[in-house]
Structure 1
Amino acid sequence: MEPTYDCVIVANGRFPSAPLPLEELRKATALIVCDGAICKIHEAGLEPLAVIGDLDSIPPELHNLYAEKIHSSADQETNDLTKAVRFVRQAGFRRPLILGATGLREDHTLGNISLLIEYAELFDRIEMLSDYGLFTPLLHSATLTSNPGQQISLFSLHPGGEITTQGLRWEVTARQFTNWWQGTLNQALGAEFTLTLDQGAQVVVYRALVDFK
């Protein structure tokens, strides 16, 4: 992956089990935990910098243990992940990685992935990593690293401008995606690929972890 992340946010979805997300979790210098995910972080023997959320999923014993690190928010207009992202922004972090935001409930997974576009404008770079792949939101043209044959999918959550690719097996030329499936199941040809986004285009890029270094 391109960046060195300056913090890791752990949501309360499926806890990481694959080598790459576990490595990122263990080497995190700043760990921001969403509400109920503190149970898994505590079991893993990791120390959070902050615990964020409405605190409806934290057992009393952990609430007491981490009382000085808890930042409560009862705002029902946002989910715990967004509350954590806002905390990270206010704390001055610029390159967060999100773990544990997929798996378990599909509605949470879809909601969290779609929120990446809203988060993108707040940071230099923000990404979401699961056991199976890496999600990168793009608001502007960019070149991303890949491996030959790596599976790539593009999701245009807000159809607007046109998207053009270079370096994929099935190239896209000045196309506007109007449904999520239209940019999926592509494949990288080499060590990088480029997405050129016309004005108004926004895309979430998914790179599968198979053979991903």
Structure 2
Amino acid sequence: MKFKNKDDCSSAVIVANGRYPSHERPLSAIANASYLVCCDGAANHFIELGGIPDAIVGDCDSISEENKIRFADRLFPNTEQETNDLTKAVQFCAENGRTDITIVGGTGMREDHTIGNISLLADYEAVANVKMLTNYGVFTPISSNTTFKSFAGEKVSLFAIGQKPVTTTGLKYPIQNRILTNWWQGTLNESLGDSFTIETRGRIIVFQVF
């Protein structure tokens, strides 16, 4: 597994402890990462695949003793129990000035972990420009009016965190100043062209299918 040496000092890829990706988009993000952080639970598998993380973050109760010794110089234990390892990894990146963050491996295993990790994107948006790549698409959190690049026919879903009015432009099924009270209400929409816009003052997580 090879990585580019370029380091722009502002970006990072985080490998979370979900199912390791198989789609070319998240795999490309890993391969081209200028700085790669493994959550504690993901480190052993990533290293077995030939990867060399720049940092390993978490409570460090899952990483093998062999890898603790081998990567002692890039191990950053955090035993705080009120946050999960993914949140600790995001905080680590943000505190070190890496606020352009791509998360991979955040879904695909236990459903409760998947839902929890996706919902946390709304919190991460306050400290970083963050997105989560899966084997099917990309999750992007927003909290203000945002225009997304798209293509005609792209499948799009919106998930509201909280209850603030939402208006969309450029989607097949428009939403007009509506409060979404359940996650299903903004799902299974479709882009009409090369962009669409979401107007909101609330927190929205947008999913675009590859």
Q: Same fold judged by TM-score > 0.5? A: yes
| TM-superposed deviation, 1:147 | 1.6
Q: Give 4+ residue runs of structure 1 displaced > 3 Å after superposition.
A: none
> Hey, what's the Cα distance between the residues in 2 that align with 1:94 and 1:62?
27
Q: Residue 155 in 1 paired to residue 156 in 2?
A: no
> Hey, what's the Cα distance between the residues in 1 that align with 2:155 and 2:194?
13
- Find the counterpart in structure 1 of residue 17 from structure 2: 12
Further displaced range: 4-13 or 94-103: 4-13
Residue ranges of structure 1 left out of the alignment (5+ in a row): none
- Find the counterpart in structure 1 of residue 3 from structure 2: none
- Find the counterpart in structure 2 of residue 77 from structure 1: 82
| TM-superposed deviation, 1:94 | 1.8
* SS at structure 2 position matched to 1:147: coil
> Hey, what's the Cα distance between the residues in 1 that align with 2:71 and 2:58?
13
Residue ranges of structure 2 left out of the alignment (5+ in a row): 1-7
| TM-superposed deviation, 1:54 | 0.7
Supply the AA of the counterpart residue of 2:141. Answer: P
Supply the AA of the counterpart residue of 2:160. Answer: S
Identity %: 44
Query: How many residues were matched structurally?
Result: 202
- Find the counterpart in structure 2 of residue 128 from structure 1: 132
| TM-superposed deviation, 1:63 | 1.2
> Hey, what's the Cα distance between the residues in 1 that align with 2:191 and 2:45?
35
The CA deviation string for residues 104-125 of structure 1, in whole angstroms up to 9 with x for no partner, is: 11111001111101110102x1
TM-score by length of 2: 0.93
TM-score by length of 1: 0.92
Instruction: Please point out which of 168, 179, 185 is paired with 2:171.
Output: 168
Q: Residue 142 in 1 paired to residue 146 in 2?
A: yes
- Find the counterpart in structure 1 of residue 51 from structure 2: 46
